[in-house]
Structure 1
Amino acid sequence: MMKVLIADDQELIRESLRIVLDSKKNIEVTDAVANGQEVLRSIKECVPDIILMDIRMPKMDGVQCTQIVKELNPAIKIIILTTFDDDEFVYDALKFGASGYLLKGVSMDGLVEAIETVYSGRAMINPDIATKVVRLFSQMAQGDHSIHVEEKLVLELTKAEWKIIREVGKGASNKEIAEALFLSEGTVRNYLSTILNKLQLRDRTQLAIWVVQSHEFKNQQKVSGK
């Protein structure tokens, strides 16, 4: 049973989410709150597996709350719910440990899939904003927000794994990677898990940041002619 806490300052949204998610056999909604301060209170009473976190809330927004929650309990996973125009919040939310970033307009099936994906330990970024996220990571690559991987770990990557990494660098979803490389989504997930283990990275988000910063990745692009 996946325990989910909902945080959104719009009562209609949070109560609608509560009703829909409570109807799922494998999900239990622990609480539905209106701001970050209430999130911190709620997780003391009942620790959720996942928080659906609105990024714009009064008193304490989703970014600040994400930072505090991850400091208090790193095991709690956070999916940020936002609108298409919240670009300035993307990096901070992911930097502080959010595992997912979804548009509020996502379908309920898509939301449940994201919860299941994040619960299993993977990251989930809505395909509609993946390009924005990758562009932001490219900008970060010019700054000081580096993800470092030891060279000896990079040398362990196979050609097949580099194909997956190139697609992650383009902001492709698992489904898009599977279609591009003629693989099943399950195979793509297995490849990503192996890649993360080899590079000692926490999740897909760190991999994406490393990809756009990596000289090794650029060299692989030249070798492949892409």
Structure 2
Amino acid sequence: MTEPAAAPPTEQPTAEQPTGSVTPDPAPDPDPDPVPDALVRVVLADDQPLVRTALRMVMTDTPDLVVVGEAANGAEAVRLVEETGADVVVMDLRMPGTDGIEATRLVTSGPTGARVVVLTTFDDDDHVYGALHAGASGFLVKDMALDDILAAVRVVASGDALIAPGVTRRLIKEFTDRPRRPSAPPRRGTEGITDREREVLTLVGRGLSNTEIAAELHISIATAKTYLTRLLAKLDARDRVQLVIIAYEAGLVSAA
């Protein structure tokens, strides 16, 4: 008589084979409000809530700009830049506590790479020249059209600077004409640049665009851009605004 076959041994659970089904850990929640990399992140720094509100409202309706923070003083602006990774700060100069000039210096000398556009009243603000020396890439006048303000933010975000032949040039001329304070930074020289580069620097100081420089010197626009790049490197200038300041300080452009 044949004995019945033995039942196969029951497989014992192991650490690698749990007895019950295991529900995988849920994936972490994504950032509830991520900011696409293509957008320009903006911090608004002004002690007047109405100014911040107006700018925020118009930027909210703009597809390529997003307000990532608002500050009522310079210290808050510096903190928000570090926390949000802002690309541009629209910076008022007259704020309580840390003012716009010191905040501009802290932002532009920091590791974030954020750029600053000064927000000022042209007729009575005597601190703009100091802000440009602190590293601001340009300035906005508070009575500018909102579309012009948005365009200015885009210009600075792209790595350029606001150096329009009209308002910016008059502004810098006004402040370079004034007596320098003892605490003002020393004048920078232009040693080490070629005669042609000096010509280009002079035209930049007069507020000419690359196209206008090319026409003035009978060179291509690409060549004009090359000269500008060399000047930025040789003079250790952050952007076009600082080249204008250097041109005035070196006496290449008359304040008349």
The TM-score range, normalised by the shorter chain, is 0.7 to 0.9
Q: Deviations over 1:42-97 (max 9, x none)?
A: 22421200000111112322112112223333611010100013442012111111
Aligned to 2:103: 65
- Specify the alignment match of 2:72 in structure 1: 34
**In structure 2, what is the equivalent of residue 137 of structure 1?**
176
Give TM-score scaled by structure 1 length. 0.76
1:102 is aligned to 2:102? no
Q: CA deviation at 1:3?
A: 0.6
Letter of the 1:120 counterpart:
S
Matched-pair contact (CA < 8 Å) for 2:119–2:140: yes
Question: Could you say which residue in structure 2 is the equivalent of 1:111?
Answer: 149
**Over alpha carbons, which structure has the higher Rg?**
2
Please tell me whether the aligned partners of residues 53 and 78 of structure 1 are also in contact (alpha carbons under 8 angstroms): yes
Deviations 1:17-52 (A, max 9, x none): 011112211111101222223213322421200000
Query: Which position in structure 2 is the counterpart of 1:148?
Result: 189
Q: Flag the structure with higher helix content.
A: 1
Give the structure 2 partner of residue 174 of structure 1: 209
Report percent identity of matched pairs: 33
Deviation (angstroms), 1:141: 8.4
1:206 corresponds to:
242
In the alignment, which residue of structure 2 is the partner of 1:224? none
Paired residue type of 2:191: E
Q: Cα–Cα, structure 1 residues 164 and 110, in superposed 2: closer, same or farther, change >3 Å?
A: farther
The runs of 5 or more residues in structure 2 that have no matched partner are: 1-38
**Is 1:196 matched with 2:232?**
yes
C-alpha separation between the residues in 2 aligned to 1:176 and 1:138?
A: 28
C-alpha contact 2:187 2:250 (8 A) present in aligned 1: no
Q: Runs of 5+ in structure 1 lacking a partner?
A: 222-226
- Cα displacement (A) at 1:176: 9.3
Q: Which runs of 4+ in 1 moved over 6 A?
A: 140-143, 182-188
What is the CA RMSD across the aligned residues, in angstroms?
3.3
How far apart are the structure 2 equivalents of 1:177 and 1:149?
22
